[in-house]
A and B are shown apart, each in its own frame.
Chain A
């Protein structure tokens, strides 16, 4: 198999090829490292690659395989991750100047579980500074660029995860999603992305942004790969008190089941307000695919989400400000102007307002489940309502108009975080300008299985996820 052929494989297909000894772990790693170096000057999607260690681990994985030992379902699969997952003794920059030399004292549970499943980490990826921006800009390490058009944004905060996965420079990547940070880069870069239910995946050893909203999940070429990765990293963890103890279902088995009879809701309100015509058309085409697969597509009324979005913004701002308060006092000048502005705003939010935002979440979820999930199994919607902007258009720093741009970018993703729902994002076509269009499928809490099943069924019936940027 050529390096190009290897790079075009999904995680599942590569893992199978390695197990069947059609590809060695070293061949896969060499292909990934070479591709990473080729795209880096154009995309700036990597913070660092660890070539020597990664190749050494690949050699060990090959020799294990020779002895008949398979570590797990991702044996030998090269991966790079958003640079906010700690590995003991290694620097995680978090896309920030402030911690650029800070070595981690623990290893993230998600990384430990991927190691145990056999994946080999070969690098760390660009991200928004401290994961608090939806555009992908980074003043400290340079802006990450979209492989479909390097003048346009990747989306963030998992910018490198989206860019490198789409560019075939990693087979998959961990991202994190607090207000849309997995789904936005997945949508803008044309990959699949999965945000699990809050608590389904441990946050231990992952950089905190907003402890009430942070979720850990993958970006990958396919929804099936997302299922494979979430299967490996989900589950109870005594290191994270918010990690849910309930058993993790077998996503890989259920993903192949038919979606005939599944009820998919198309919201009448909110998600299509001011929606670009091409995006609306792509959503209609996606819903037609689901109908063809036997799903029932129903127009549904949904509760007003504007107050929930405001409450979500209150929570993320206040919690981020709290965890950054010491550095804001001592090293305020080391933040980019936009992040400093956003953190300062959080410091000024009244405590009662923050607590009311938290009090509202239970009421909102109860209301949403009773109004929506009593009628449908999934809600289908665009990830963003506008075409991919350029880096220049969105490079607003701490100017007053930045708040409106940031709010508009996360408008359709934040409700999913406020309600803590499991959500898959997948490519649903391209604009006439050649940029990917992302759709999201939201399910009821802890029903990752249905969300992943629907996303996988869609990808079995379409070819959008196979499209690769010519970079």
Chain B
């Protein structure tokens, strides 16, 4: 999926927020960067991995 300024503006609009076109362009660029930087790590996540595992891991790692 390509994050375009038009897509971002539409998502914001659907939530009742209007972004000016210049800002929608920088929003799209930033979100695309975040998605790209995290894609490989997300790609390696196990099927069963869940958010609450973090708190369990935090407690397990305590000295």
Question: Residue of B at shortest CB range from A314?
Answer: B34
Which of A308, A332, A348, A362 is in CB contact (< 8 Å) with B54? A362
1/0 per residue A351-372: CB within 8 Å of B? 0010111111111111001000
Q: Tell whether A353 pairs with B35 under 8 Å between CB atoms, given A341-B26, A348-B11, A358-B51.
A: yes
B35 touches A444 (CB 8 A): no
> Which residues of chain A are near B62, meaning CB under 8 Å?
246, 444-447
Q: Tell whether A359 pairs with B49 under 8 Å between CB atoms, given A311-B38, A344-B23.
A: yes
Interface set, chain A 318-372, CB cutoff 8 A to B: 325, 328-329, 332, 341, 344-345, 347-349, 353, 355-366, 369
B45 touches A403 (CB 8 A): no
A357 touches B61 (CB 8 A): no
B37 touches A310 (CB 8 A): yes
> Which residues of chain A are near B25, meaning CB under 8 Å?
400
Question: How many of chain B's residues touch chain A, expressed as a range?
Answer: 35 or more
**Distance in Å from the Cβ of B7 to the closest Cβ of chain A?**
8
A307 touches B17 (CB 8 A): no
> Which residues of chain A are near B7, meaning CB under 8 Å?
348
Question: Majority SS of interface residues in chain A?
Answer: helix
> Which residues of chain A are near B50, meaning CB under 8 Å?
359, 362
A: residues with CB less than 8 A from B are 197-199, 242, 244, 246, 306-311, 313-314, 317, 325, 328-329, 332, 341, 344-345, 347-349, 353, 355-366, 369, 373, 398, 400, 403, 420, 444-447, 450
> What are 29 sample pairs from A and B whose C-beta atoms fall under 8 A apart?
A198-B58, A306-B37, A308-B41, A310-B38, A311-B38, A311-B41, A317-B34, A328-B17, A329-B15, A341-B27, A348-B3, A348-B11, A349-B34, A353-B34, A353-B42, A355-B51, A358-B51, A359-B51, A362-B51, A362-B53, A363-B53, A398-B23, A400-B25, A403-B26, A403-B29, A420-B54, A444-B62, A446-B59, A446-B63
B: residues with CB less than 8 A from A are 3, 7-8, 11-12, 15-17, 19, 23, 25-31, 33-35, 37-38, 40-42, 44-46, 49-51, 53-59, 61-63
